[in-house]
Amino acid sequence: MMRAVVLVALGITLFGSLENIEAGQFVIVNLDPPNAGLNDPEPVSPVGGNDGTTLGEQRMNVLEAAAARWANFLELTVEIRVGATFEELECDPTSGVLGTAGPNNVAANFTGAPVADTWYTIAQAITLAESDLILADNQHISTRYNVRLDDGDSDCLGGNTWYYGLDDEGPFGTVPLFPVVLHELAHGLGFLTLVDLESGARLETGDGDPLNDAYMLFLRDQEVEKDWPDMTDAERVDSAVNDPNVVWTGPTVDAMSNMVTDPAAFSGGLLRVHAPGEIEDGSSISHWTPDADPPLLMEPARQPGIFDELDLTPALFSDIGWPVNFPGIEIFRDRFEP
């Protein structure tokens, strides 16, 4: 149920630098209207290390804590602004969208780009370029969370409500927001392909030239024995629904993927991505296979037992060229602890 949707992917190519900023950090930009969402004034009691006194404050505290956790793993050089809202998202009694996120822009051929003529999310691009290429007040990532959970209405996820604690998963009948934010921010930072999975087309520049994206560089179809950049659009359409044959070839994930013990999660020794027989918009390809066991943060649906662990997500970021710190065992908390 941690389904996610890519919101925006605008093709722009950026060159040069506008200004240099010394320290890097995430800034959560509250885009909710007065008295709603992140501004909800309803008084609440502190919960699980979250000492916000209103619903809005507690929500913001979780977003900021999750962003800070990512900041520990990424060598940020500039400010990354995340526009955030709580909105009514799709929900029914048994499933629903918990959150969504995506990059607001992408860039290619910027200073410090790891691979030429390849799209990177704007957050990764400005980090590598050590320069904010977007004017102030604009956000680099957009993310939304489903406000309907707090209605406690059985029509939405059987009445499950958000848990805003920063300590653990929370009691039965709740969904912890913290791991959902970790998951969504990862999409905004680069855990996604920009390929149109219905057409197989790669995102084009303003001049109409299709470019690879950093994520698809590491996608391979084991059945047809081709990497995604070497395929035609039609071949990518076929591969996008070719479970269980689509895998991640990046060396850092490969070196660490033995934390996943279920052989079903692999094809030809490489960890599979989610490629169900029908395209699931916002889920297909841009997640690990749900067959991974122990479960991973970046599966399409939230798995109980995951709270603050990032498991293979930093490894994938390293593969696509993010500067990543690996502080050891912290990646493998909870169910990965020895």
Residues found near Zn ion in the complex (CB under 5 A)? 4
Give the C-alpha separation, 49 to 64, whole Å: 13
Q: 7 is written with which tokens? A: 């919101």
Beta strands in 52-191 (DSSP E): 79-87, 99-103, 106-107, 118-121, 141-146, 161-163, 174-176
Q: From the CB of 299, what's the least distance to Zn ion, in Å?
A: 8
- Cβ 222 vs Cβ 36: under 8 Å: no
Q: From the CB of 100, what's the least distance to Zn ion, in Å?
A: 8
Query: Residue 39 or 104: which CB sits closer to Zn ion?
Result: 104
Give the C-alpha separation, 144 to 152, whole Å: 19
Query: Residue 59 or 183: which CB sits closer to Zn ion?
Result: 183
To the nearest 10 degrees (0 to 180), the angle between helices 177-189 and 55-73 is 50
Query: Residue 56 or 188: which CB sits closer to Zn ion?
Result: 188
Query: Residue 4 or 256: which CB sits closer to Zn ion?
Result: 4
Q: From the CB of 287, what's the least distance to Zn ion, in Å?
A: 5
159: left (phi over 0), alpha (psi -120 to 50) or beta: left
Contacts of 212 (CB under 8 A, 6+ apart): 115, 117, 118, 119, 202, 228, 229
Q: How far is CA 254 from the centre of its chain?
A: 19
Q: From the CB of 98, what's the least distance to Zn ion, in Å?
A: 9
H or E segment and range at residue 50: none
Give the C-alpha separation, 37 to 331, whole Å: 30
Q: From the CB of 328, what's the least distance to Zn ion, in Å?
A: 26
Query: Residue 4 or 260: which CB sits closer to Zn ion?
Result: 4
Query: Residue 202 or 274: which CB sits closer to Zn ion?
Result: 274
Q: From the CB of 193, what's the least distance to Zn ion, in Å?
A: 12
Residue with smallest beta-carbon separation from Zn ion: 4
Q: From the CB of 4, what's the least distance to Zn ion, in Å?
A: 3
Residue 77's SS3 state is coil
Query: Residue 4 or 55: which CB sits closer to Zn ion?
Result: 4
